[in-house]
Amino acid sequence: MNIILIGYRATGKTTVARLLSEQLGWPWVDLDVEIERLAGKSIAQIFAEDGEPVFRDLESRVVADFCARQGWVIAAGGGAPLRAENRQAMRQGGKVFWLTATPETIYRRMTTDPTTGARRPNLTARGGLEEIVELLTKREPVYRETADWVIDTENKSPSQVADEILAHWSRIRDDKGMHL
């Protein structure tokens, strides 16, 4: 069983995955980084040169691959749950935690993180806060359907978010008599 983190960009998935990995002694992966490794180029380049459908196909490949493994912490890309096959792989592969934040917080985090803007393209013509609001409106029902738990990251440090996930994980492990 894996721990799978979903949510919009800049909700802390990668940072929290790294912390969970350290605390559990498990390997972790950022699926966007894995996609870039497979493609040999950045996500922005994939979108510009090959188009979003090619990116989504690569994404589905890495979701299926890593969700089929055991004992991983997986930080999924923000759009990964949009495909039904990815949602199914996530649900079958582990427990899914949806990391949330307000659009304003997401925008602030994105504008202060130099790698977010450089690596990831705008997904609508609007960009900025308007894009975040538009995409969250579309994605939230899918995130909600996919997630076993919703973790609000507002006003919490990554360590606090990781601790909250670990508390849920301990209960799962204890309830199932698992030794993870």
Residues annotated within the binding site for substrate are 32, 56, 78, 139
Among 38, 95, 55, CA closest to 71: 95
**d(Cα 175, Cα 93) in Å, to the nearest integer?**
18
* Total residue length of the chain: 180
Q: How far apart are the first and last CA of the chain?
A: 9
Report how far apart, in Å, the C-alpha atoms of 33 and of each of 14, 104, 105 are.
10, 25, 23
Residues annotated within the binding site are 10-15, 32, 56, 78, 120, 139
Which uninterrupted H or E stretch holds 164? helix 158-176
What tokens does 139 get?
């994605």
Residues annotated within the binding site for Mg(2+) are 14
